[in-house]
């Protein structure tokens, strides 16, 4: 029977279940990655499992998020991460070496392997032919312990590309077009598998831009075949031995299909404040721009910066624009320095930022009040930039460079520049001196700063959940709404009591205080609740405040899993009218025993009416929630996870 690429990789790693869309499966994980905003908690959780070494083929700890060291907290966490990596057999990528997804693509990714990362943009590895999936830190900790990763078998969508891109139209425009077509909800429960003649024209970094931003579709992952383009990229990395051909069988079936003609695609742009609010650049060109930022895990490759350097030759950044560049890795920076193109960008007037995530997560280079800022990033959620009044637009490096030159939103094709085709170097400058290999001695002392607090524990569920509706929100609530990022809050990530003070602060600054006063309670939400980052703090901190259940119209995948992992009951309204009928401060009562049968019985004591709720939880999920979460269940016996 013919298989698509996604099915092939899953079949090769299948531990339990069958390849039937929507059914529960578990898969073996070959590689893991963490970053410092989620990694500290993941390694505290791994430590609690009392194992001497990781049991994966390869695990890497990256420091790329919290490098703004305005206090001791981030530096202490970096020291903790380095010592934990040395003790448990994990590679450690030091601060300044680059963004985790860019570096992993360059130095560690292998076609056909599975990768689980505590970052929602882990699917970047799909550009190399991996099945790469973002997850919460606890799921990654369990994978490092050798446990399989549990998920529902995704539907596989064939995104067929035909033709080739015109000058100054790029891979970012392709994924923005997919977002325009499908929306931020369109990939939930799916893997986007790219096929067609058009993929042959896209290099691995271009493919990685698309698989990276598939996270904004809500997709479980995105994947390209491993072909000649993949071989050339790995050869340039000095890793051709890691290459193997991998593609779908002739006549393979898919659950859904869509087609994009690259030859008619135009430059696209996502308007504030959602990645799927996409229009053609020419529809809004002329709007004055205050700031331009080039970088992030989406668009910080050699190809991206070479294109910008070509456009900026003999030009200056517009006097009304503040513009900055942040290469995705030290390797990219070294390549640009060696070929002279780094100097071109410096002479044009760009500010230089570290090789880290930086402004993408609100960590520096925040825009001015009411600014229009064009960013080559993947998210433009309200306030994520660090300036709540800013209007963030997402675009390609070509469109961002055009705005830097003209001072306004401009279709890059209108600059009448000669077309350029960026070729991959035959060999990138390779220097792994900032990647520390695993130690051989597990008698390493783990170094903890005062901001690193013990893991909070969740008790086993009582027979009945009772409490107040603490908050009611609408559709597309992101993890940034639930647990904000940024330079002020992220340094508290390893101190749950401290960071919990900011839960829902973007929506309601009084939430934490009210939750404590009420002894916890319930949160009510609309469609696609919890989209965005994989940060498990968006479940862990509400759990610490006593949130017992989250009841919504639909969940985003990673956040749903994180709620289960920390023993918060995730439920869905069977009837949307019941969502409308619940108000803040209503008193709810849920019979926990009914989790094992559907629908779940809930009673609104304030309105004196019953509410029917449903869920997509497996028997394992229900057992985990009742035990108080995955870590609590793990302590009862690793063989049960």
Q: Is 351 assigned a catalytic role?
A: no
CA nearest 396: which of 296, 321, 493, 496?
296
Arithmetic mean of pLDDT, 132-158: 95
CB burial of 95-114 (b: ≥16 within 10 Å; e: otherwise) equals: bebbbbbbbbbbbbbbbbbb
pLDDT band of 71, cuts 50, 70, 90: confident
Arithmetic mean of pLDDT, 353-376: 92
Q: Is 119 assigned a catalytic role?
A: yes
CA distance 251 to 2: 6
CA nearest 139: which of 566, 597, 606, 570?
566
Q: What CA–CA distances, in Å, run from 574 to 302, 557, 567, 579?
A: 49, 18, 21, 9
| Catalytic option among 119, 276, 290, 586 | 119
pLDDT at residue number 328: 95
Q: Is 535 assigned a catalytic role?
A: yes
Q: Is 594 assigned a catalytic role?
A: no
CB 231, CB 210: distance < 8 Å:
no
Residue 632 has pLDDT above 80, yes or no: no
Neighbour count for residue 581 (Cβ, 10 Å) = 14
| Catalytic option among 13, 36, 65, 170 | 65
Residue 149 has pLDDT above 70, yes or no: yes
Token pair 């898969």 is at which residue? 27
Residue 186 has pLDDT above 50, yes or no: yes
Neighbour count for residue 56 (Cβ, 10 Å) = 22
Handedness of CA 607, 608, 609, 613 (dihedral sign): positive
| Catalytic option among 330, 375, 535, 559 | 535
Q: State pTM to two decimals.
A: 0.90
Sheet holding 58-62, edge to edge: 131-134, 114-117, 31-35, 58-62, 91-93, 435-436
How do beta strands 58-62 and 91-93 pair? parallel
| Catalytic option among 36, 64, 139, 578 | 64
Arithmetic mean of pLDDT, 608-614: 93
Q: CB-based burial of residue 327 (10 Å sphere; 0-12 exposed, 13-18 middle, 19+ buried)?
A: buried
Q: What CA–CA distances, in Å, run from 501 to 142, 393, 495?
A: 28, 30, 11
Domains and their CATH numbers in the chain? 5-264 (3.30.499.10), 268-414 (3.30.499.10), 464-640 (3.20.19.10)
Arithmetic mean of pLDDT, 335-348: 96
pLDDT at residue number 637: 57
pLDDT at residue number 161: 98
Residue 640 has pLDDT above 70, yes or no: no
Residue 431 has pLDDT above 80, yes or no: yes
CA distance 52 to 352: 41
Q: Provide the CB-side half-sphere exposure for 210 (13 A, CA).
A: 27
Q: Is 64 assigned a catalytic role?
A: yes
pLDDT at residue number 155: 97
pLDDT at residue number 635: 62
Average pLDDT, the chain: 93
Q: CB-based burial of residue 569 (10 Å sphere; 0-12 exposed, 13-18 middle, 19+ buried)?
A: buried
Residue 619 has pLDDT above 60, yes or no: yes
| Catalytic option among 301, 408, 533, 534 | 533
Handedness of CA 302, 304, 306, 312 (dihedral sign): negative
CB 259, CB 198: distance < 8 Å:
no
């Amino acid at each position: 029977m013919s298989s698509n690429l996604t099915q092939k990789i899953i079949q090769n790693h299948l531990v339990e279940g069958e390849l039937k869309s929507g059914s529960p499966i578990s898969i073996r994980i070959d590689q893991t990655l963490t970053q410092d905003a989620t990694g500290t908690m993941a390694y505290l959780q791994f430590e609690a499992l009392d194992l001497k070494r990781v049991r994966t083929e390869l695990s890497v700890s990256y420091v790329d998020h919290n490098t703004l060291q305005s206090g001791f907290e981030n530096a202490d966490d970096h020291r903790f991460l380095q010592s934990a990596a040395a003790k448990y057999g994990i590679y450690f990528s030091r601060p300044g070496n680059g963004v985790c997804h860019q570096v992993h693509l360059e130095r560690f990714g292998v076609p056909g392997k599975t990768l689980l990362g505590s970052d929602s943009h882990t699917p970047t590895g799909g550009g190399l032919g991996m099945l790469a999936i973002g997850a919460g830190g606890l799921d990654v900790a369990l994978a490092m312990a050798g446990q399989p990763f549990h998920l529902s078998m995704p539907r596989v969508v064939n995104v067929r590309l035909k033709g080739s891109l015109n000058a100054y139209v790029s891979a970012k425009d392709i994924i923005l077009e997919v977002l325009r077509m499908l929306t931020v909800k369109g990939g939930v429960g799916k893997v986007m598998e790219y096929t067609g003649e058009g993929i042959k024209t896209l290099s691995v970094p271009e493919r990685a831009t698309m698989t990276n931003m598939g996270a904004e579709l809500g997709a479980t992952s995105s994947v390209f075949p491993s072909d000649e383009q993949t071989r050339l990229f790995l050869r340039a990395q000095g890793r051709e031995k890691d290459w193997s051909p991998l593609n779908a069988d002739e006549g393979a079936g898919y659950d859904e299909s869509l087609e994009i003609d690259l030859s008619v695609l135009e430059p696209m742009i996502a308007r504030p404040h959602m990645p799927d609010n996409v229009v053609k650049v020419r529809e809004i060109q002329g709007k004055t721009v205050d700031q331009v930022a080039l970088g992030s895990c989406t668009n910080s490759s050699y190809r991206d910066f070479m294109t910008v350097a070509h456009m900026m030759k003999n030009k200056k950044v517009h006097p009304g624009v503040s513009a900055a560049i942040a290469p995705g890795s030290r390797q990219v920076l070294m390549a640009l320095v060696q070929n002279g193109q780094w100097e071109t960008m410096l002479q044009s007037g760009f500010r230089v930022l570290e090789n880290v995530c930086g402004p993408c997560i609100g960590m520096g280079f925040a825009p001015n009040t009411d600014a229009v800022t064009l960013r080559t990033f993947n998210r433009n959620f309200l306030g994520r930039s660090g300036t709540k009044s800013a209007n963030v637009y997402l675009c390609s490096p070509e469109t961002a460079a055009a705005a830097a030159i003209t001072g306004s939103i401009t279709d890059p094709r209108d600059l009448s520049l000669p077309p350029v085709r960026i070729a991959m170097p035959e060999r990138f400058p390779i220097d792994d001196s900032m990647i520390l290999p695993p130690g051989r001695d597990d008698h390493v002392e783990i170094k903890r700063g005062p901001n690193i607090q013990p893991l909070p524990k969740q008790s086993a569920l009582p027979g009945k959940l009772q409490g107040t509706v603490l908050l009611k929100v609408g559709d597309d609530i992101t993890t940034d709404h639930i647990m904000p990022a940024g330079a002020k809050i992220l340094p508290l990530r390893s101190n749950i009591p401290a960071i919990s003070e900011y839960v829902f602060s973007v929506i309601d600054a009084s939430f934490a205080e009210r939750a404590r006063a009420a002894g916890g309670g319930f949160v009510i939400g609309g469609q696609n609740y919890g989209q965005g980052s994989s940060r498990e703090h968006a479940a862990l901190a509400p759990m610490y405040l006593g949130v017992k259940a989250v009841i919504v119209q639909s969940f985003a995948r990673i956040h749903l899993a994180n709620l289960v992992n920390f023993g918060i009951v995730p439920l869905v309204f069977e009837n949307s009218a019941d969502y409308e009928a619940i108000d803040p401060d209503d008193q709810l009562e849920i019979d926990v025993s009914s989790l094992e049968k559907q629908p779940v019985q809930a009673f609104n004591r304030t309105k004196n009416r019953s509410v029917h709720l449903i869920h997509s939880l497996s028997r394992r999920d229900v057992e985990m929630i009742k035990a108080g979460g995955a870590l609590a269940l793990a302590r009862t016996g690793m063989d049960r996870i």
